Amino acid sequence: MSTHDSAGGESLTGNTSASAPGDTGRPAKRTSAKSPTGPEDVGPRADKRSERLVATCFGVSSLAAIAFLVVFWALPKTDVAYTPLLGVCLAVSLFGVGVGAILWAKKIMPDEEAVQERHPMYSTPEDAAKTAAVFAEGTEKTGFARRRLLRYSFLGAMGTLALPIVPIISDLGVHPRGNARQLKTSPWKKGDRLTTEEGAPVRIGDLEYGGILTVFPNGNTSPSNSLAPTVLIRLRAGENQPRPGRETWEVDGHVAYSAICTHAGCPAKLYEQQTHHMLCPCHQSTFLVTEHCRPIFGPAARPLPQLPLALDNEGFFVAGAAYQEPLGPSFWERS
Amino acid sequence: MTTMTGKAIGGGARYVDERLTSANFIRRSMNKVFPDHWSFMIGEIALYSFIILLLTGVYLMLFFDATAREVIYNGSYVPLKGVPMSEAYSSTLHISFDVRGGLIMRQIHHWAALLFVSSIVVHMMRVFFTGAFRKPREINWLIGVGLMVLGLLEGFAGYSLPDDLLSGTGLRIAYSVGQSVPVVGTWSTFLLFGGNFPGESIIGRLYVVHILLVPGILLALITAHMMILWYQKHTQFRGPGRTEENVVGSRMYPSYAAKGGGFFFLVFGVVAALGGLAQINPVWMYGPFNPSQVSAGAQPDWYIGFLEGSLRLTPGWEFRAFGHTIPLNILIPGVVLPGIMFGLLALYPFLEAAFTKDKAQHHLLDRPRDKPVRTSLGVMSLTFYFVLWIMGANDIAAHLFRISLNLTTYMGQVALFLLPPLMYAITYRICIGLQRSDHEVLVHGVETGTVHRLPSGEYIEVHAPVQESQLVLSPVEPDHPERIEGERGPRALVSSAGRAVGSFFVAKKKDTSVPADQRERDDDTLTKR
């Protein structure tokens, strides 16, 4: 590597070389008699055996690679065994090379252990001083320290060069002013019909007691309208304990709440009929449906926003009004 | 070497040398010594899985179409035929079902990504507990922390690309986390997503992040990491003949190259076997992303789990004043906590150096027991992380052990503050105990298993004095100056089992103390200008 190379040549510490015991040409094999791996590897017969073993590994690898081709072309790709067989063939061919190479290193190559000196991880004070002097001399020649006009105009130009980046970056998204407004705007307007995922409007009787249905405004199920999903739940008469001022928001025991969790924005729709708990599967925020969906467990801090309900003149459920508060997770400009 | 190959190599080498003057550099590189220890291979696994990721990633790029444009699926996966979905999801299905060998490439890529992040984390633990981050290696520690954070980001971006229901839910949460930041949150998430969630832009932008931006930085940082490692030389454990001034091990060429190269193929082989045999991220089972749907028991890839856990454990705190909202229930677990965790991790070498007033250079590694405070701090932090990680799957745990979900959350909240200090105390005590037992062996010798009966009737076991080759000198701890390896007893059994496993890759430990007069110096050393 180049850094190593230049440092080795420049710093002249000179102790970057490997030194191995024995003669310089070929490092001595350091297989001691007490080493359990040593003795079995010596001798011409053992040597041959090792060679055959390594060659077998490489041979198996080649065979597996050919088998990979056979599977790849001969087997239909819809076969259940297609991908597993490809994996096995590829793995065996890779393992063959890997095990072979390691056995080669262990059984055939001399078992040497080399010692190398480290070079010190600092420059001599003289070297450091020389470098500092060269830098100081160069800086002096530029006049950067002396010529104030040059210095300030240069730094100023570098600073103003950063300005064009700002509009380029900021145009990646919507303008900051619009953001909060977009997040605060209710995706439901007064009179929007509650429609199912298939687009069918909903009327009284479509839901059993304890039933839950995901509804969208006027059939708009587009994923881009990600804050719109709402749940319609039918409670038994008298079960709902509305907030003061929201007594008229339910229609015949039906209530509607935003499905988007006020914590991190997952759909919180796991409804438990018996307890009237609504659970978000992401972080387990739990909301109590009968008490205006206030959070009773987990990380959510706010109730699920409620959608006022009404019936249109054909008897279908509609939004009695838009949502009265921003939907989904909290954000800086929320309130 | 036969004359034929000798000539061929000589000719090629001359050609290169007359253009790059490379002979000295190449010789020094081939002679470079790398110390052998199984724990030094963990970082290699990370490097090799990165190579596998590049190879498989380029292949996947040729088929993947990162656009949010809606299409009607018409491929061979029957259950989703006719379903509207994004082009990104549809092309992922195409790779999985209609490209020959596409599924195995996708699965190898995903498994390699998991292995990449896992090996980085384990490598980092090795570096931490052995003190390899100390001067002069702080810069490489910082690069390593950067690599880990970028690895998480890269994994998350890649995992979000198929635009399936599971990953879309993850993106939704990421969006909410971004939104929670005071003042700039809304603005920056709108910049990144090009508008309100999900928008049309995010898949294409994540794609650029995933295939160009982050891999480019990763590649540059890995190169720097390796160059610094090469230049500074590897650390080594204490042992006979091993000092602060030398490196004892095998040479780059041929021994280390053969073992390291072979190890690459082993790693690749394992990942290929996993990719073929173990299904991962079957996106066709989740369906396309839809903001009104979510599946229960959804888990992210393991390395995001700790964030999932911290989000689940934080109570419903929210701060509202002066017309602004600060959702502490997201800001703290999603932004502040990981910031503190990664910040402390990055700063640790500097904090330790400041508190211990240690300004020396270190090339010999510590045994964890010899640095009880550092070891205990590490175990404490890992415990904290582990509680968060487990709590990222508390619903699975509740289901598995048939306990109340709410109870698991309360248990996690208590454990998060109770377990780390407890683990600190326990680890500290274990370290001291191990030190004492080392000291014991040193003073009284090694148990021989030979029991003598004295004339008085008393039985004693004969202890043999510790051989010099078993002594490992430790200059940092004057009260316990020597350490022993290779004694008998249960601990020796454990360590010999470890050696048996490790000995497949490395030579058996042996006395490497070479008498000074026998040491030969290479000609480089002699040519001092």
Q: Fill in the DSSP letter of residue B198.
A: S
The per-residue pLDDT for range B439-484, each reduced to its tens digit, is: 888 888 877 888 889 899 899 888 877 765 455 433 333 333 343 3
Report pLDDT digits (tens) over B358-377.
999 999 999 999 999 999 99
**In this model, does residue A241 exceed pLDDT 80?**
yes
Whether A154 and A259 map to the same domain: the answer is: no
Distance CA A217, CA A194 (A): 5
Other beta carbons less than 10 A from residue B272's beta carbon: 29
CB contact under 8 A, A83 and B296: no
pLDDT category of residue B2 using cuts at 50, 70 and 90 = low
Instruction: Identify whether B338 is preceded by a cis peptide bond (ω within 30 of 0).
Output: no
Position B182 scores a pLDDT of 92
What is the arithmetic mean of pLDDT over B135-148? 96
B410 and A CB contact within 8 Å:
no
Name the 3-class secondary structure at B205. Answer: helix
| pLDDT value of position A42 | 65
DSSP state of A260: B
Above 90 in pLDDT, residue B240? no
pTM of the entire predicted model? 0.86
Examine the pLDDT at A134 and tell me if it is beyond 60.
yes
CA distance B351 to B349: 6
Cβ distance of A299 and B289 shorter than 8 Å: no
Residue B440: per-residue pLDDT: 85
Tell me the pLDDT tens digit for each residue of A39-54.
445 688 888 999 999 9
Query: Is the same domain home to A105 and A136?
Result: no
Mean pLDDT computed over every residue of chain B? 86
The mean pLDDT value for A237-256 works out to 90
Is residue B161 within 8 A of residue A311, CB to CB? The reply is no
Contact A330 B251 (CB under 8 A): no
CB of B139 within 8 Å of a chain A CB? The answer is: no
Decide if B248 and A114 are in contact by the 8 Å CB cutoff.
Answer: yes
Are A213 and A89 contained in the same domain? Answer: no
Interhelix angle for B102-129 vs B257-277, to 10°?
130
In chain B, whose CA is at the least distance from the CA of A300?
Answer: B316
Residue A4 in domain: no
**Which among A56, A90, A116 is the end of a domain?**
A116
- DSSP states of B449-480: EEEEE-TTS-EEEEEEPPPGGGEEE-SS-TTS
Q: Kindly list the residues from chain A whose CB atom is less than 8 angstroms away from the CB atom of residue B327.
A: 301, 329-331
Residue B514's pLDDT band, with cuts at 50, 70 and 90, is very low
Average pLDDT over residues B28-35: 92
Q: Residue B289 and residue A105: Cβ atoms within 8 Å?
A: no
Mutate to test the interface with B, among A13, A182, A330 (most CBs of B within 10 A): A330
pLDDT at B496: 45
Residue range B132-159: mean pLDDT, rounded: 96
Alpha-carbon distance A214 to A232, whole Å?
6
Q: How far apart are CA A295 and CA B316, in angstroms?
A: 8
Check residue B483 and give its pLDDT.
39
pLDDT at B467: 65
Of the candidates B248, B254, B518, the beta carbon closest to that of A109 is on B254
Give the mean pLDDT of chain A: 85
Determine the residue among A57, A179, A296 to mutate to test chain B binding: the one whose Cβ has the most chain B Cβ atoms within 10 Å. Answer: A179
Residue B194: pLDDT above 90? no
Is B272 in contact with A24 (Cβ distance < 8 A)? no
Say how far apart CA A256 and CA A194 lie, in whole Å.
10
Comparing A33 with A256, which gets the higher pLDDT? A256
- Chain A interface mutation, best of B17, B193, B294, highest count of A Cβ atoms under 10 Å: B294
Q: What ipTM score was computed for the predicted complex, to two decimals?
A: 0.85
How far is the C-alpha of B237 from the C-alpha of B95, rounded, in Å?
47
Residue B492: its pLDDT value, please? 44
Could you tell me the pLDDT band of residue A38, with boundaries at 50, 70 and 90?
Answer: very low
Asked if pLDDT for residue B126 goes beyond 50, the answer is yes
* pLDDT average, residue stretch B237-258: 90
User: Would you tell me which residues 420-479 of chain B have a C-beta closer than 8 angstroms to some C-beta of chain A?
Assistant: none
CB contact A160 to B (< 8 Å)? no
Same domain? A155 vs A228: no
pLDDT single digits (tens) A185-224: 889 999 999 999 999 999 998 999 999 999 999 988 888 8
Higher pLDDT, A87 or B2: A87
A228 and A326 belong to one structural domain: yes
Are A118 and B363 inside 8 Å of each other by CB? yes
Per mean pLDDT, which range of A163-167, A297-301, B113-117 is the poorest?
Answer: A163-167
* Mean pLDDT value of segment A127-131: 95
State the pLDDT at residue B92: 96
Whether B386 contacts chain A with CB within 8 A: no
Q: Output DSSP code: residue B131.
A: T
Among B136, B269, B316, select the one facing A298 at the smallest CB separation. Answer: B316
CB-based contact A113 B263, cutoff 8 Å: no
Q: What pLDDT does residue A171 have? A: 81
CATH number assigned to the domain comprising residue A208:
2.102.10.10
Residue A174 lies in a domain: no
In tens, the pLDDT along B36-89 reads 899 999 999 999 999 999 999 999 999 999 999 999 999 999 999 999 999 999
Tell whether A318 and A214 lie within a shared domain: yes
Give me the DSSP letters along B348-412: HHHHHHHHHT--S---BPPPGGG-HHHHHHHHHHHHHHHHHHHHTTHHHHHHHHT--HHHHHHHH
Identify the pLDDT of residue A176. Answer: 58
Instruction: Give the mean pLDDT of A104-125.
Output: 89
Q: Residue B507: pLDDT above 80? A: no
pLDDT in tens, A252-305: 899 999 999 999 999 998 999 899 999 999 999 999 999 999 999 999 999 999
Are the beta carbons of A214 and A230 closer than 8 angstroms? yes
- Which range of A57-61, A208-212, A281-285, B514-518 scores highest in mean pLDDT? It is A57-61
Q: Give the structural domain span for A138.
A: 125-168
Residue A179 lies in a domain: no
A141 part of a folded domain? yes
Distance of residue B377 Cα from the nearest chain A Cα, in angstroms: 29
Question: Residues A241, A326: one domain?
Answer: yes
Residue A253 domain flag: yes
Domain shared by A155 and A75, yes or no: no
Other C-beta atoms within 10 Å of B361: how many? 15
A109 lies in the same domain as A164 = no
Model pLDDT, residue A238: 85
pLDDT at B479: 38
Q: Which chain B residues are Cβ-neighbours of A226 within 8 angstroms?
A: 172, 196-198, 291
Minimum mean pLDDT range among A73-82, A305-314, B319-328, B482-491: B482-491
CA distance B354 to B97: 57
Over residues B246-270, mean pLDDT: 93
CA distance, residue A145 to nearest chain B CA (Å): 31
pLDDT of residue B494: 44
CATH classification (class only), B32-363: mainly alpha
> What residues of chain B lie within 8 A of the CB of A100, using their CB?
262
pLDDT of B7 above 80: no
For chain A, the domain total comes to: 3
Task: Please list, in sequence order, all residues whose beta carbon lies within 8 angstroms of the beta carbon of residue A91, skipping any fewer than 6 positions away.
Answer: B269, B270, B272, B273, B276
B-facing residues of A in 4-63 (CB < 8 A) are 4-5, 7-8, 12, 14-24, 27, 30, 32, 35-37
B519 interface with A at CB cutoff 8 Å: yes
